[in-house]
Amino acid sequence: MKVLVQRVREAHCRINDDITAAISHGFVLFVSFRDGETGKAIPWMAKKVANLRIFDDAEGNLNRSLKDVAGSVLSISQFTLEADARKGNRPSFTQALAPTQAHPLYDQFNHALSRHGIPVNTGQFGETMHISLTNDGPVTILLERNEDNDS
């Protein structure tokens, strides 16, 4: 499981001409699952995201979490995080979990995150989305949890 975290001042998801989800400050999360994943990493990842200390404290140090700043999340399914572009110029997506399996895991992750007291807004799984965001910092962190070795 991979989650690309971007600290934002604001963000929204647009499908066609409609804004379907929006947040003020918090995180935009781009979430992917690798072929063979079962969801075992979801509780760890939700806890990590909820407690990730990447907001400034009074001294300007990255020492406050999403919960500390009353932030929210815009969660976007993003199978392209599993792209393999080592050969040629056209990425391969064969390592991405099939949509029929990834969709329930994506929903489980968002629910697990909300159980940590985080307001979670989502894009629409499988839809073409236009994501607009104002990155704050910028601060962007890739979190990854491998079910095989738990690292």
Annotated catalytic residues are 78-80
| Sequence-distant (≥ 6) Cβ neighbours of residue 60 within 8 angstroms | none
Structure tokens at 7: 């600290």
Structure tokens at 47: 């806890």
Could you tell me where the DSSP H helices lie in 9-143? Answer: 42-51, 99-114
Nearest to 32 by CA among 151, 144, 149: 144
| Sequence-distant (≥ 6) Cβ neighbours of residue 87 within 8 angstroms | none
Could you tell me where the DSSP H helices lie in 61-151? Answer: 99-114
Structure tokens at 2: 């991979």
Report the C-alpha gap between 147 and 144 in whole angstroms.
10
